[in-house]
């Protein structure tokens, strides 16, 4: 069946109810990068210090792109109530007042694995494919209708588990990493849950026909593919 035929066929089907639609979104977790071979090896203690440094330095580019993509979404949000919630995401990463923020916490993680701040911030260790993947997320967020961009953030539904896995496994496997370096992961667990509350509410309210719900699932898959291809690129870069 071609795409037009598939869309037409879907348009005839009844919309899923909210619980069914949410279950289908959550089922996408099966394609989360938590299952990527590099992530599995990292949490099983199979990465060398250089491989961990490669992951941290490349993921830094994702970290600095997140508040830029959130600012792009904010600019497209016509509703003040949504903006008041969304702006928190930018402050979480950039910091606010006494809160140093996620980018700073990631910089500490970098130092804990042996990457100097200037080295990390220079972005010289970032692989081209990681840049392309992260840039495509920022570009999508800037150009898509804001509800679609919100939907693309829903991979955060699956993020608390990946952070918990690192907190549970890294201290045993990588005792040379100073414990405070892992604070970023700890900090994200409650913040991701808060983000998902809002993101899921927007998505469940906006995508109400079967065709629209299928579009939401496709958007979530696009974001899952970004995260997966980042790890593909990191895995390759770690061996060069």
Ligand X SMILES: O=C(O)c1cc(C(=O)O)c2c(n1)C(=O)C(=O)c1cc(C(=O)O)[nH]c1-2
The site for ligand X (CB under 6 A) is made up of 66, 153, 155-156, 159, 162, 188, 227
Nearest residue to the partner ligand X, using Cβ: 155
Residues in the chain: 240
Minimum gap (Å) between residue 186 Cβ and ligand X: 11
In this complex, which beta carbon is closest to ligand X, that of residue 43 or of residue 209?
Answer: 43
Minimum gap (Å) between residue 132 Cβ and ligand X: 16
In this complex, which beta carbon is closest to ligand X, that of residue 148 or of residue 156?
Answer: 156
Minimum gap (Å) between residue 155 Cβ and ligand X: 3
In this complex, which beta carbon is closest to ligand X, that of residue 66 or of residue 237?
Answer: 66
Minimum gap (Å) between residue 169 Cβ and ligand X: 14
CB burial class (10 A; 0-12, 13-18, 19+) of residue 60? Answer: buried
CB burial class (10 A; 0-12, 13-18, 19+) of residue 70? Answer: buried
Distance of CA 112 to the CA centre of its chain: 22
Where b means 16+ CB within 10 Å and e means fewer, 183-196 reads bbbebbeebbeebb
In this complex, which beta carbon is closest to ligand X, that of residue 66 or of residue 204?
Answer: 66
**Vertex 123, ends 128 and 63: CA angle to 5°?**
90
For 238, list phi and psi in degrees, rounded to 5.
-65, -20
In this complex, which beta carbon is closest to ligand X, that of residue 191 or of residue 210?
Answer: 191
Instruction: Please list the residues that pair with 96 across neighbouring strands.
Output: 99
CA distance 223 to 217: 10
> Is residue 203 a contact partner of residue 25, using CB atoms and an 8 Å limit?
yes
> Is residue 161 a contact partner of residue 136, using CB atoms and an 8 Å limit?
no
Minimum gap (Å) between residue 25 Cβ and ligand X: 13
Minimum gap (Å) between residue 171 Cβ and ligand X: 17
In this complex, which beta carbon is closest to ligand X, that of residue 28 or of residue 210?
Answer: 28
């Amino acid at each position: 069946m071609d795409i037009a035929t598939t869309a037409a066929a879907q348009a005839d089907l009844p919309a899923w109810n909210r619980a069914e639609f949410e279950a289908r979104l959550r089922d996408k977790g099966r394609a989360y990068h938590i299952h990527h071979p590099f992530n599995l090896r990292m949490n099983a203690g199979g990465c060398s210090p250089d491989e961990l440094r490669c992951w941290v330095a490349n993921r830094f580019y994702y970290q600095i792109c997140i508040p830029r993509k959130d600012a792009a979404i904010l600019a497209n949000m016509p509703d003040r109530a949504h903006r008041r919630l969304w702006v928190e995401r930018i402050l979480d990463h950039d910091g606010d007042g006494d809160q140093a923020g996620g980018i700073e916490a990631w910089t500490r993680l970098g130092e804990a694995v042996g990457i100097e701040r200037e080295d990390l911030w220079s972005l010289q260790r970032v692989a081209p494919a990681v840049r392309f993947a992260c840039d495509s997320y920022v570009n999508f967020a800037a150009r898509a209708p804001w509800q679609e961009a919100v939907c693309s953030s829903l991979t955060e539904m699956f993020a608390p588990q990946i952070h918990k896995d690192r907190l549970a496994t890294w201290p045993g496997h990588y005792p040379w990493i100073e414990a405070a370096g892992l604070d970023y992961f700890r900090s994200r667990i409650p913040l991701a849950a808060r983000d998902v509350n809002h993101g899921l509410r927007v998505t469940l309210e906006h995508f109400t026909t079967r065709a629209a719900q299928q579009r939401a699932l496709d958007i979530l898959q696009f974001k899952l593919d970004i995260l997966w291809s980042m790890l593909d690129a990191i895995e390759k870069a770690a061996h060069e």
